[in-house]
Structures are given as structure tokens and as C-alpha cells.
Amino acid sequence: MSTTIDLDKAATAPTFTGISAGRKARNSLATVLMTLAFLVALVPLVWVIWTVVSQGIAAIVSSTWWSQSLNGLLARQEGGGAYHAIVGTLLQGLVCAIIATPIGIMVAIYLVEYGAGTRLARATTFMVDILTGVPSIVAALFVYAVWISIFGLPRSAFAVSLALVLLMLPVVVRSTEEMLRIVPDDLREASYALGVPKWKTIVKVVIPTALSGMLTGIVLALARVMGETAPVLILVAYAPYINFDIFGGNMASLPLMMTVERSNPTDAGADRLWGAAITLILIITIFQLLAAFLSKVTAPKTK
Amino acid sequence: MAKRLDLKDVDIYYGKFHAVDSVSLAVPPRSVTAFIGPSGCGKSTVLRTLNRMHEVIPGARVDGEILLDGENIYGPSVDPVSVRRTIGMVFQRPNPFPTMSIRDNVVAGLKLQGRKGKKELDEVAERALRGANLWNEVKDRLAKPGGGLSGGQQQRLCIARAIAVQPDVLLMDEPCSALDPISTLAIEDLISELKADYTIVIVTHNMQQAARVSDQTAFFNLRATGEPGRLVEIDDTPKMFSNPTEQATEDYISGRFG
Ligand SMILES: Nc1ncnc2c1ncn2[C@@H]1O[C@H](COP(=O)(O)OP(=O)(O)OP(=O)(O)O)[C@@H](O)[C@H]1O
Ligand SMILES: [Mg+2]
């Protein structure tokens, strides 16, 4: 083969064309628009974080914030801490998670593994969808109506947890359901073919395979409901002291502490309000990191 | 170990769809039977009825008798789980359990059936992996996840997993279709070795493979699309490939099909 140009050959148009000017222009325009949209979305985010941190940082770095309640302090008196509210938020969240997680997982297992296509499964899915859209105030009023008006039981942290269960349950069902559905049927069949009964296949093969995503979904659902305000406003009274009894007495929580301190016009009130806000954001962030960590640890590995 | 299978007038349905029509055939112990036939003629369907995996699909149903050493596996008091313990299965796509190590994959059947004892399980794992010609390749990384092996190794891992529960019969649905020629040969050699202890039924689209590994070959076909699949003929492999009784078989084997 010679490398010189064959002058006798007829000239042909090149097969490939350059990028047209029109496409270049559209590309630049789209890039600019998307960057702008990104900035517009970023501004409020940064602003919120900046406001909360700058207003609240003074409160949470004080030595007593994480270890003391506000018991015995006057509204205008500086000092004390949010320990009572942190305990309340975590307790109410924990009780809610203890109730909602097993129920949610079992409902999801029923929907995916047993109920597929049955009328009961369709009705359940429909109900879960509706529950997903129920506003927290409605869940709180429902619990108030049943727990307090009908059963005559006192307002308590447990009532709050029940309302949170109503909010957390559909999210747990939905996320668990999705995770179970993406477990390939191949694995279930492989297990059946080894002579493993169905329930054991679910417990030992399907759930471990889906576990990583299930845990993420559950922790995120919990983080979401811990910031809910309507249930704590309606179902329990604020207490400036520490209360571990979920069935009786008043109990603080971070959202409740914020609404109470909002009507405190002094500087001390403002500090507590923003301090509680940061604390709530911090707790939710920690839960989200925990979710990411759990999902990483439990994910199926290939190496 | 190694029992015979007899199918008597087996009709197979998916809901209302009649997938396979009246199959009768016998699989002698310690032999390899190959199922061949065009796509959609019901080979996998027949294979899956042999260990009651067919009924896992909602609406799926089987009529007729399938006898394992004379005992009907579809008898009214027979637990499908116990049938599957006796008749193992290897699937077309390798499907090791992603959350388990290589060793745990091999002993998964025993462990999930509730048998414990670390030492016993270690021995079973080694025996099964040697049986599946995989021991030398994985003996240094038994604790590593099964998903990290190559496709061919994963398929042999699945074979090891199936023989670790010591079934009487081993069913294989196109076990080599996702593998390269070398892994395929490794598995064919393995099948010839396993024949000494197991009754084997294998589905394959590869005529040479059927000719190489099987003692008898069953040819399935459809009369027309939409009609149920049926068994055209079953005979000793050499005879099927040199001088089959049915014209349809000869056409299919010589590539004059359709
Ligand atoms: N889960 C199912 N539900 C309904 N019909 C099915 C199902 N699986 C298979 N069939 C139908 O049953 C018939 C036989 O299918 P089968 O999978 O047994 O074919 P095959 O011979 O194994 O084909 P291939 O060689 O492509 O694997 C086909 O008509 C198929 O569409
Ligand atoms: Mg098939």
C-alpha cells in the first residue's frame, strides 16, 4: 500500500461532519440555564444553613446545652440546655421506629412475596398510598380522637409516637417493598431448588440481599418523622424538665421546644429556639450518615 | 443415590395455557438424558416439573404422574420441599447468593435446611467443590463473596451448591449457554464424571453438546405456534444423531428445521 495521495481517485465528501454552530449554541444555552437553576436551588439551602448556624451556634457550644434541661430557669434567664428535648425527640422516635419497622417490613413482605395480585394486596397498596399523603396534622388529630377522646387516655409521648407511626409506616412499606422487588427471582428459585422452604428463603436469602436498601429506607423515614411538629403540638404538653416516662406526663421534644421558645421574646428565648433548630438538623444529619454507613456495611460485596 | 425417573402422560399448564402435551418418558439411573428442541417448545417447562419448581409460578399446574423410583412426586401427601431436596437443579444463568461467601454458597442448602456443625459443613464444601472441579481455583478464597468469581466459575459454584445436598437427580437447564468454550468443556467433563453418582437431565441448544454428554436424547417440538409442545421422540443418543425414527427429528438435527 502506498501512502501517497491518489490524485486520480474521485473526491468524496467526508463521512463525518463537525459539530454544527446551531448545536454548539444550544449546548451553551442549556449549560448556562442548568448552572443558573443549580445556583437558584443552592441559594436558599445555603441561606437556611447559614441563618440557623449563625443564630444558634452560641447556644449549642455552651457546656450545659447537651447535658441540662431548662428546669427552674426563667424565660429571660440564659443557661440550661436542650437535653430534655433531645431525650424526648429520640424517645418518641425510637418508640415509633420499634412499632413501625416490624409492621412495615411484614406488610411489605406480604405484598411482595405472598399477596402478589390478590385483592387484599391491592387494597393494602391503595391504603398505603393514601396514608403516604395524609398530612401530619390529620394523623395527630386522628390519634387524638381515638386515643384521647374515645379511649379516654391522657396526652402522652406515646400518643405522639402513635401519630408518628402513621406517618412512618407507609414510607417503610414503600421503601421495603421496592427493595424486595429488586431481589432477582433467580435467587428465590435457586433457594427453593435446594429444598429450602419459602419462609426460610425469605428470611435467609431475600431479606439479607435487600437489607442494605431496607435499612437506609427505615432510617431515613425515621429521620423524616422526628422533625414533625403537629403531633407534638396536639398530643403532648411541653415540659422544661426531663421526663423518661412515655406513657404519662409532659415531655419536651426539639420541635416542641422551638414552638414554645418562639413565644419567648427575650434573647434567651431566641438562643434556645435557634439552638434547638441546629440540634434537630444535627440529629437528622447523623441519622442520614448512619443510614449511608449501614447501607455500605450491609451491601452485598463482590470482592 | 441415583434414582430413575418415569413420566407418565404429563400435561403442563400455565394458567389456561396448555404448554406441554402428554409427555411420557423414562430416565434410567446413572445416565445423562438431553432435552433438545426449538425455543418455546417446553423443554424448560418439562424440566421444572421434574422437581416441582413449575408450581412456583402462580397459576401453573401439572397433570399426570412423575415417578421417582416408583413414588409419585406429585402424590397428595408429598411435600414439594422434600422433592426439591431429592432432585436438584442448576439454572441457565449462574445465580450464587450475593450475600454469602463461596463456602457459604456451597453449603447454603444444608445450612438453610437447618443442618449445622462447622466441621461437617467445611468437609461438605470441600467435597462438593472438588466434585465440581472448582476446589483448586477457590481453595484460597473460600471466605470471599461468590459474586466475585467469573461466570464459568460461578456456574460450577452453582453445581457444587446443587450436589452439596446430595440429591438423587440433577436437572440442568442450559448450564453452559452463558459460558465460553473452555468453561463449557469443563462443565461437560464434570457432567460425565457426575454421571457415576447421579441421574442427570440436561436441556441444551447445542447439538454437539447433546451428542457429547448424553446417553439418550429427547426431541421436543411444537406442531404449530400456539399449540402445546410435545415429545417427538426419545432414543439412544447415537441413534438419534445418526438415524432417528422421525423425519422431524432428522430435519431439526441436520439444521433443516423451520
Ligand atoms: N412463566 C410463564 N408463564 C406463562 N407461560 C410461560 C411461562 N414460561 C414459559 N411459558 C410458555 O411456555 C412455553 C414453553 O416455554 P419453555 O420456557 O419451556 O420453552 P423452552 O423450550 O425452554 O425454550 P428455550 O429453548 O427458549 O428456553 C412457551 O410458549 C412459553 O411462552
Ligand atoms: Mg428454556
**Range name among A121-125, A284-288, B222-226 with the lowest pLDDT average:** B222-226
pLDDT band at A2 (very low <50, low <70, confident <90, very high): low
Q: Is the CB of B151 inside a 6 Å radius of any atom of ligand 1?
A: no
Q: Is residue B130 part of a domain?
A: no
Instruction: Give residue B224's pLDDT.
Output: 82
Q: Delineate the domains of chain A, giving CATH numbers in brackets.
A: 84-295 (1.10.3720.10)
Answer yes or no: do B53 and A184 touch at CB < 8 A: no
pLDDT band at B258 (very low <50, low <70, confident <90, very high): very low
Q: Which atom of ligand 1 is nearest to the CA of B205?
A: 25
Q: Is residue B27 part of a domain?
A: yes
CA distance B160 to B170: 11
Which residues pair with residue A46 across a beta bridge? none
Distance in angstroms between the alpha carbons of the first and the last residue of chain A: 49
Q: What is the mean pLDDT of residues B2-7?
A: 90
CA distance A114 to A194: 20
Put simply, whether B38 touches A (Cβ < 8 Å) is no
Put simply, whether B81 touches A (Cβ < 8 Å) is yes
Spatial CA neighbour of A71 closest among A60, A83, A57, A61 = A83
Q: Is residue B106 part of a domain?
A: no
Q: Is residue B204 part of a domain?
A: yes
For residue B97, give the chain A residue with the closest CA.
Answer: A187
Quick one: cell of B126? 470441600
Q: In this structure, are residues A201 and A192 in contact, taking their beta carbons and an 8 Å threshold?
A: yes
Instruction: Spell out the alpha helix ranges (H) of chain B.
Output: 43-49, 80-86, 102-106, 108-112, 118-131, 135-138, 151-164, 181-194, 207-213, 237-242, 247-253
Q: Is residue B173 part of a domain?
A: yes
| pLDDT tens per residue, range B42-75 | 999 999 999 999 999 988 999 999 999 999 999 9
- DSSP 8-state secondary structure symbol assigned to residue A151: S
Q: In this structure, are residues B208 and B235 in contact, taking their beta carbons and an 8 Å threshold?
A: no
Which burial class, exposed, middle or buried, applies to A11 when counting CB atoms under 10 A from its CB (0-12, 13-18, 19+)? exposed
Spatial CA neighbour of B37 closest among B230, B244, B235, B245 = B230
Q: Which domain holds residue B221?
A: 5-95+169-254
Q: In this structure, are residues A85 and A278 in contact, taking their beta carbons and an 8 Å threshold?
A: no
Put simply, whether B182 touches A (Cβ < 8 Å) is no
Instruction: Give residue A4's pLDDT.
Output: 62
Residues with C-beta atoms within 5 A of ion ligand 2:
B 44
Query: How many contacts does A have with B, using Cβ atoms within 8 A?
Result: 82
Residue A107 pLDDT > 70:
yes
Answer yes or no: do B97 and A190 touch at CB < 8 A: yes
Q: Is residue B206 part of a domain?
A: yes
| pLDDT tens per residue, range A140-189 | 999 999 998 999 889 999 999 999 999 999 999 999 999 999 999 999 99
pTM above 0.80, yes or no: yes
Q: In this structure, are residues B216 and B236 in contact, taking their beta carbons and an 8 Å threshold?
A: yes
Got the DSSP string for A270-281? Answer: HHHHHHHHHHHH
Quick one: cell of B88? 436438584
Strands B87-90 and B169-173: parallel
| pLDDT tens per residue, range B119-169 | 889 999 999 998 888 999 999 999 999 888 988 899 999 999 999 998 999
In chain B, the number of structural domains is 1
Q: Is the CB of B238 inside a 6 Å radius of any atom of ligand 1?
A: no
CA distance A26 to A18: 15
Distance in angstroms between the alpha carbons of the first and the last residue of chain B: 41
Q: Name the one residue in this structure whose C-alpha cell is 466459575.
A: B153
Strands B87-90 and B17-27: unpaired
CA distance A73 to A94: 28
Which residues pair with residue A205 across a beta bridge? none
- In CATH, what number is assigned to the domain containing residue B84? 3.40.50.300
- Residue numbers in B near A197 (CB within 8 A): 81
Q: Measuring CA to CA, how many Å separate A263 from each of A38, A60, A89, A266, B235?
A: 36, 20, 20, 9, 91
Q: In this structure, are residues B142 and B172 in contact, taking their beta carbons and an 8 Å threshold?
A: no
| pLDDT tens per residue, range A235-253 | 999 999 999 999 988 999 9
